[in-house]
Structure 1
Amino acid sequence: MATEAKRLKVDESSELGPLEHFLQWCNTVNLVLSDKVYVSKEGTVAEYGMLAKEDIKEGEVLFTIPRSALLHHGTTKVSALLEKEKSSLESSSGWVPLLLSLLYEYTSSQSHWRPYLSLWTDFKTLDHPMFWSKEERGRLLKGTGIPEAVDTDLTNICSEYTDVVLPFITRHPDLWNPNTHTLELYTQLVAFVMAYSFQEPQEDEEDEEEDEEEEKAPNPPMMVPMADMLNHVSNHNANLEFTPDSLKMVCVRPIHKGEEVFNTYGQMANWQLLHMYGFTEPYPSNGNDTADIPFNDLYKVATRGVQSDLDMQLMEEMWELLSQMMQEKAAFVFGKHGCLTDTELHTALRVLGMSKEEFSDFKENEGWEEDDDEDEKISLAFSNEGLLELKPSWKGLIHEAARLTLGSYGDAVEEGKVSVSERMLIEDKAALAGLSSRQQNALQVRYGQKSILNKVMELTQS
């Protein structure tokens, strides 16, 4: 019989068969849960969650998961086959081995993880924007960057399934069936991995002689039963720690009896939370919220008033060089306390303000010399406080670029301010509750982004 420490606790008022079944399974795999917490659907911010039965001190371990209980391509029943044919499973996402594991385990009545996977009977609780209609995404999320990100996701998912997964499962009809393991199920499992998986942090390499030209690939995602029951807030009170033998959820600040235990998915803006996890944090609680000013908006503003062909040609040369320097970054990112991509914004503003001679010297010298403390100076210059003190020409470019970006949301924007109707909805809890969950989440993303852009405009007002 399991000791009291290992006998997992479920809310006594709960009649959720799948949850009880899962907790019994946790006992069999030696997942140890503290007596001070329990899992429930009642009293949590969303779906399943974990609540404190009594006060918990900082540093206490809430539960411990042995690595044998983790679900990934190395622990699944089909692991040997996946390892044997791994060269044929390579893709840009790096998720195919885990997704094939989930396709098999989710549909197998004999799966070791069936009690765990049965918590998600049809994935209808997942409400990522990828499951919204294209029209709904465009209408509710215009300007946020999410519709474009979802279109890219869906294209990549379809290509990955068609080019990599389908040929593989067709070669192994004893384990997978294209009629069962469809693109629709594959897409649902991608969302499941987006919302619930964990990635083990990279170990710090002590050997500095590693090949610096080739970045080490991130660890593949894995499913972590129990850890994925915890909901997220930016101001979290628990954190997942990785050890060689197990994973441990540790309390990082005191939790009082009756409070929910929250993990963190990282420093995530609301648009990222909605895109990857299907939810948002209510305004203004997400301290990690951000808004983007696209590079192209700054370029459009910079070229206003340029009349001569020679000046336009110079501006185009400047922008072409900046685009090469910025590489894949497509926007300047602003947070609640200033610009998070301050170095890139500083470079762009400095180059766009050059004369023809200065730009020629810049190209010839391949940049400019920087002071040892240049990064710190730039960071301060593009903080909220620093924006007030920028040179007028730079403030003007940022101000007008922010205004142009605000106009991309497609709703009522008067002098760059968020619309009155949105502010009223955010402040009126009853009215907010009358919206659908999709409308609420979209509003939180839009309002948070536009509030940041509006603040940028205020700070750069001439």
Structure 2
Amino acid sequence: MATEAKRPKVDHGSVLSPLQNFLQWCDRVGLVLSNKVCVSKEGTVAEYGMLAKDHIEEGEVIFTIPRSALLHQGTTKISALLEKEQSSLESSSGWVPLLLALLYEYTSSQSHWKPYLSLWTNFKTLDHPMFWSKEERDRLLRGTGIPEAVDTDLANIQREYTDVVLPFIAKHPDLWNPDTHTLDLYTQLVAFVMAYSFQEPQQEEDDDDDDEEEDEKAPNPPMMVPMADMLNHVSNHNANLEFTPDSLKMVCVRPIHKGEEVFNTYGQMANWQLLHMYGFSEPYQSNSNDTADIPITNLYKVATQGIQSDLDRQLAEEQWEMLCQMMQEKTTVVFGRQGCLTDTELHTVLKVLCMSSREFSEFKDNEGWEEDDEDDERISLAFSNEGLPGLKASWKRLIHEAARLTVRTYGEGSDSEQVLIEDKEAYAGLSSRQQKVLQVRCGQKSILYRLMELTES
């Protein structure tokens, strides 16, 4: 079990550092930190992190956070107003109430969370790609999917701020000021929420609710969890946050040796997702959750190459139109290091694109439904690294050539990146951004190259 934190000895004639101030605040609000760990800016993979001062056994509680110390729209000083006006704060992100709370608390000198929020004097130090210039994003991150995701984020943030936030804060000039609570600060706080917030898992109901009703449940809103957000992420983590009715606990999930960093997990995140949402990436080949996306349009392009007759072209166009209806908003198939992670979608795309005219006519008559003796387990095995070489030749060709097309989107000269990332001296001479970009690009391309090997005719 965790032991009581020792109050740090402080010379009251000196100015406390932001970290010392935060640790004293943790003590005041009842956050219990094991004396086997310490928060540090040295010896960790990022600006802040947590180190083990002693051996920690699996199952030990590293720290406990009372729910009263969490920062969200229900605990902020303006919670009553946010609750009263919730209908006017609805948005596609669902984050507006939390972001309004952060706008208020971050700029209030009297905020209960000031020692916590003062750890971040400028959220741009998070170095999300949204803070890079558009030219830099498009040039360095070409092919990764990140520039497109960031463009969407920035457009949504501006729309949300202009349409929802600005009218609301204008109605309450005693709490917010558009000259202080600007779009720029709002964007920085979005990055802060992306990088540091937590969402409580949905509680399963004991009663037999209809599955459809369960699916319609809105996800729990994000919240800021002081101390838990000090822990950095790796896919091979050694600690995990657990939720109880009264508190949140960080629990050791495998032994941590003295001197090791304590790592949490942000979930099964590929490197491009880590860079997009958190501003960092794991070292090349160390992220077991890395992925590469192949746009479904690339599979269609390969399927239509060499078509000469009008009838065949018409068939391909009709097949594509039906696929777009069936796939709805799913625009890519995702491959991980062990095979396809969206195997059902890939199976559907390949099956439809490779249908003869007669097969497709029957498929249309059934409105896309058909008897299929291939269950999910068999499909999953067929599109794993072990199963891919055994696929029918026409399917392998589509996957192989679509992977080749996808590799080309990274731009000319990208093959030299593999040499660069393996040259320790040259790699060390790169900027932090260049290193993170290489880790993302080389990780994705290694998955695509492996896929091409497995589907070679």
TM-score higher than 0.5: yes
Q: Which residue is equivalent to 2:186?
A: 186
Equivalent position amino acid for 2:301 in 1: K
- 1:435 paired to 2:437: no
| Residue of structure 2 in register with 1:410 after alignment | 411
Flag structure 1 segments of 5+ consecutive residues without an equivalent. 414-418
SS in 1 for 2:62: strand
Between the aligned partners of 2:283 and 2:207, the Cα distance in structure 1 is 44
- The aligned residue for residue 236 of structure 2 is 235
The answer to whether the 8 Å contact 2:233/2:265 transfers is: yes
1:451 alignment counterpart: 446
Q: How does 1:1-80 map to 2 (within 5 A)?
A: 5-7=4-6, 17-80=17-80
Aligned length: 451
Structure 1 runs of 4+ aligned residues shifted over 6 Å read: 9-12
The Cα offsets for residues 354-395 of structure 1, whole Å up to 9 and x where unpaired, read as 111111111212322133x61111111000111111111111
Show the 5 A alignment for 1:78-227: 78-210=78-210, 212=212, 215-227=216-228
Q: Which residue of 1 aligns with 2:267?
A: 266
Distance 1:164 1:97 in 2: 10
**Mean alpha-carbon deviation: is it higher for 436-445 or for 287-296?**
436-445
In the alignment, is the contact (CA less than 8 A) between 1:292 and 1:332 conserved in 2?
yes
In structure 2, runs of 5+ residues without a counterpart are none
Q: Where does residue 339 of structure 1 map in the other structure?
A: 340
CA 1:9–1:399 in 2, change beyond 3 Å: closer, same or farther? Answer: farther
Whether the aligned pair in 2 keeps the contact of 1:10 and 1:20 (CA below 8 Å) is: no
Q: Deviations over 1:1-21 (max 9, x none)?
A: xx9713366999xx9700000
Amino acid at match of 2:377: E
Amino acid at match of 2:455: T
What's the TM-score once normalised by structure 1's chain length? 0.95
The answer as to whether partners of 1:10 and 1:38 remain within 8 angstroms in 2 is: no
In structure 2, do the counterparts of structure 1 residues 169 and 403 end up closer, same or farther at CA, with 3 Å as the change threshold? same
Cα displacement string for residues 228-258 of structure 1 (whole angstroms, at most 9, x for unaligned residues): 0000000000000000000000000000000
Residues 96 and 165 in structure 2, CA contact (< 8 A), matched pair in contact too? yes
Share of identical aligned residues, percent? 78
| Alpha carbons 2:60, 2:251 under 8 Å: kept | yes
Q: Tell me the residue number matched to 2:372.
A: 370
Measure, in 2, the Cα distance between the counterparts of 1:51 and 1:4: 16
- Partners of 1:208 and 1:91 in 2: CA distance: 31
Q: Distance in 2 between matches of 1:210 and 1:221?
A: 26
Once the 2 structures are TM-superposed, how far is the Cα of residue 204 of structure 1 from its aligned partner? 1.4
CA contact (8 A) 1:73 1:101 kept: yes
Superposed counterparts of 1:297-312, under 5 Å: 297-312=298-313
Could you tell me the TM-score, scaled by structure 2's length?
0.96
Tell me the SS of whatever aligns to 1:241.
strand
SS at match of 1:240: strand
- Return the alpha-carbon distance in structure 2 between the equivalents of residues 4 and 328 of structure 1: 50
Q: What is the CA–CA distance in structure 1 between the aligned matches of 2:317 and 2:9, rounded to whole Å?
A: 64
C-alpha distance in 2 between matches for 1:379 and 1:312: 31
Secondary structure of 2:294's counterpart equals strand
| Residues 111-136 of structure 1, C-alpha deviations (whole Å, 9 max, x = no match) | 00000000001123210000000000
Structure 1 counterpart of 2:6, one-letter code: R
Distance 2:7 2:264 in 1: 19
How many Å apart are 1:412 and its aligned residue?
2.4
Pairwise CA RMSD: 1.7
Give the distance between the partners of 1:7 and 1:101, measured in 2 at CA. Answer: 31
- Where 1:174 maps in the other structure, the secondary structure is coil
